[in-house]
Amino acid sequence: MNTGIQPGVVVIGAGVVGLSAAIAAQARGLSVTVLEREAPAAGASAGNAGAFAFTDILPLASPGILKKAPKWLLDPLGPLSVPPSYAFQIAPWMFRFWRACSAGRVAHSTAAQTALMDLSKAELEPFLTQTGTIAMLRKEGNLQVYESQAELNAALPGWKAREQHGVEFRHMGAADMAIIQPGLAPRFTHGTFTPGWYSIADPKLYTLALAEHFSAQGGTIERAEVSGLHPIEGGVEIRTTDGRTLRAQNVVLAAGAFSHQVARSLGETIPLETERGYNTTLPIDAFDLRTQVTFGGHGFVVTRLSTGIRVGGAVELGGLKLPPNFRRSEAMLEKARSFLPGLKSQGGVQWMGFRPSLPDSLPAIGRARATPRVVYAFGHGHLGLTQSAGTARLVADLLTNDRTAIDIAAFSPQRF
């Protein structure tokens, strides 16, 4: 072994995916250090909706989205938007997204997504038990609501696809919806309830608890922004923006929306874009919320956390540099007020975060082309929390050269 190469693993990124992977590697007996440009749970892991959306197997890239997208894109505050100043830059990504919407590619992505969801669900509770966070798990389901029979009918092909992959759900009318979630506006006449939809008490507190567990088990978390990676004999050289050079046997790149910038130093161009997610977290007594409610036609959800009621969602494809447009948060909150007439909308805290997304809605999980000593684990879009335990299992398998729990060919970072 070369002198100066740190044994074990360096994980880049202290979000929920990076920390989960670090803990899984640690459990295999590996020495692990985590490098984070800000602090644990500083990014999308802090402000997401807190859902383990195991039933959400259909890719965002789909024929259904292609039908809705033109209408949505005309509304700058709608469920899907691209700021005009960013439209040219994102055009190549949008072309790949369009190609991923073909029936054959959607079927391929759905099968791969289902396999990762099944693995993630199987790994979740053992992982929560291992990390002492099992008490934070909630199993309250999700209610998707519709404003007409026609809107429900339009969604039926998607539910048929879920049924074929073993997802449990039941359609219902307004009376049954009111039993599950009282207080919905009368405009919502139909709904679909998925009991297999889990959530976490608070995603930020959960991610911070993972950081604490990792440290308690002997792991180290250091603040450092990585500028590049370079293969060397017996390991990987890690360069930071403050001029430091570190060396490790193996590296896991799980830096979320910034991952593709680091991968570029290895000669790989990975088409990762940023879904800028917005939300407002209201006080806990803002509404008597009993399940997560998804307003799919409007692109947002309302979630009960231990720390408040979170109203958020939508997709703004605007990269990493544009300033937040909190009018999007305000627009969702205004709709939520009319959809849940008893909602107290005062005293909320706004947030915007970066969700790393690839055109086919699948993450990049696998080895770098330049060296097998770098493992990629990023690009989960809005499913990072959901797929964190499954991704951690796969990363640990790769680091220890074990057979991966599922076939990861569909998640190859080199598939584009």
DSSP codes, 372-414: TTEEEEE-BGGGTTTTHHHHHHHHHHHHTTPPPSS--GGG-TT
Q: Give the span between the Cα atoms of 309 and 331, in whole angstroms.
A: 16
Give, for 334, the enclosing helix (H) or strand (E): helix 327-339
Buried b (16+ CB within 10 A) or exposed e, 229-248: bebeeebbbbbbeeeeebbb
Q: Is 106 helix (H, G, I), strand (E, B) or coil?
A: helix
What are 367-400's pLDDT values in tens digits? Answer: 999 999 999 999 999 999 999 999 999 999 999 9
Q: Give the span between the Cα atoms of 33 and 354, in whole angstroms.
A: 24
Helix axes 16-27, 203-216, angle to 10 degrees: 30
> Could you say which DSSP state residue 324 is in?
P
Instruction: Give the chain's domains with CATH numbers.
Output: 66-101+138-196+273-354 (3.30.9.10)
Are the C-beta atoms of residues 395 and 402 closer than 8 Å to each other?
no
What are 47-101's pLDDT values in tens digits? Answer: 999 999 999 998 888 777 767 766 776 677 777 788 888 989 999 999 999 999 9
Lowest mean pLDDT across 37-41, 162-166, 252-256: 162-166
Q: Provide, rounded to the nearest whole percent, the portion of the chain with pLDDT above 90.
A: 87
pTM recorded for the entire structure:
0.95
* Residue 147 phi, psi (nearest 5): -100, 0
Average pLDDT over residues 190-196: 96
Helix axes 16-27, 388-399, angle to 10 degrees: 40
Lowest mean pLDDT across 71-80, 98-107, 201-210, 303-312: 71-80
**Hey, which residues does 276 pair with through a beta bridge?**
316, 354
Q: Give the span between the Cα atoms of 187 and 192, in whole angstroms.
A: 15
